[in-house]
A and B are shown apart, each in its own frame.
Chain A
Amino acid sequence: MSNETWTFFHGGTLLYRLDSPGVDWVRSFIPPVAYQVPLGCGVGAGYSGSLARVTVLFLGVSPLACSSRPWMISFTTTFSTSYTARATVSSMAPSSAFHMHWRWPSFSGAVGEQQASSCRVRGSCLLRIVHPRWKTHWKAIFSATKRQALTLAKFVAIYKFCMIIAKRANGGVERDLDSFFGGSVAGYFVFRDRSAITEQASSSLLLCLDAETDPGGLLR
């Protein structure tokens, strides 16, 4: 096989391509073959070319699965191999002459971002997409949790501020629609910018409304 393409789908997370040199992979993007395998599974294929070009496209929609979570790609070859780093690949470290294990921290692209590298491969090549490093994994979780907590804190602060203002404007007496007013102001200022976090929060608020229309919980 001189030219092979693999496509990995895991909730639409990652797309992988291996090309022979000189191929305009952007124009000839339509792959001859697309395999749908779970992320983390190994896919083996023979590659007889002298130079392989590797491209990873991030297609995911989940913030944890894509935008802030780098993936490691493990290459295992059965013959001695040399390689050259290009483009955005920042570090590659073979563990032995017969077994390469590359780490590409730069593969933490945003949705739709493309990152590429080139390597020389003789003989067959086994490609595997493995789970991200634990440190990066927990860092991404912490970052998303912190962002969500700050978003919620902003909502609560604006809501309470509006409630205080409305209450004082009415001589210290709370009116029926004060909470409605405070919630609308807070919702507008905090959740108006569409992002994964605010969309999730809006969905959660919509679920509150669902619970209201389904007090018996029959839908759940």
Chain B
Amino acid sequence: MTLYALSRALGACIPRASGPSVDVDSTLIIPLANPRAHFWRPADPTWFAALAAAAGATAMYIFRYRAETLHPVTFASMLYLYRDSEHWKDLRTLLWHNY
């Protein structure tokens, strides 16, 4: 939950389109037809793309040179995707089982 909240908070720091701020105490009383249109201001596409590129770049760099700091689950999946999947000797090791 901490990591989830942290990622959401970081994502909320992206610059967004201009719009009115939300008074949570007053808007919670009246359900609106489309709350995303009222409550939510989408991230600026350029900044979101920059965040996506930075996140992907940093994750791949960490996996390549500081893999010991990654979470074991993330490390295992990335190990399969970026290393194990590059080696095979027959159809079985290509489609089903690691070489």
Closest to A158 in B: B56
- Residue A179 interfacial (CB < 8 Å): yes
* A184-B57 contact given A194-B45, A199-B11, A219-B2, CB 8 Å threshold: yes
Interface size on A, residues (CB 8 A): 52
A203 & B4 in contact (Cβ 8 Å cutoff): yes
- Residue A48 interfacial (CB < 8 Å): no
* A112-B58 contact given A211-B69, A211-B74, CB 8 Å threshold: no
B31 & A179 in contact (Cβ 8 Å cutoff): no
Name B48-85 residues within 8 Å CB distance of A.
48-49, 51-66, 68-71, 74, 81-82, 85
- A207 vs B11: C-alpha distance in the bound complex, in angstroms? 12
- Residue B30 interfacial (CB < 8 Å): yes
Q: List 17 A-B contacts (CB under 8 A).
A: A34-B31, A57-B34, A112-B33, A152-B81, A156-B81, A160-B86, A179-B65, A184-B54, A188-B52, A188-B53, A198-B52, A202-B11, A203-B8, A205-B58, A208-B70, A208-B71, A211-B69
* A59-B35 contact given A179-B61, A206-B11, CB 8 Å threshold: yes
What is the total of A-B residue contacts with beta carbons within 8 Å?
145
**Min distance, Cβ B22 to any Cβ of chain A, angstroms:** 14
Q: A183-B57, A184-B53 are in contact. List 10 more A-B contacts (CB 8 A).
A: A31-B31, A183-B60, A192-B52, A203-B8, A207-B71, A208-B55, A210-B7, A212-B62, A215-B69, A220-B2
**Min distance, Cβ B15 to any Cβ of chain A, angstroms:** 13
Name B57's contact: one of A12, A29, A181 (CB within 8 Å): A181
Name B54's contact: one of A187, A199, A215 (CB within 8 Å): A187
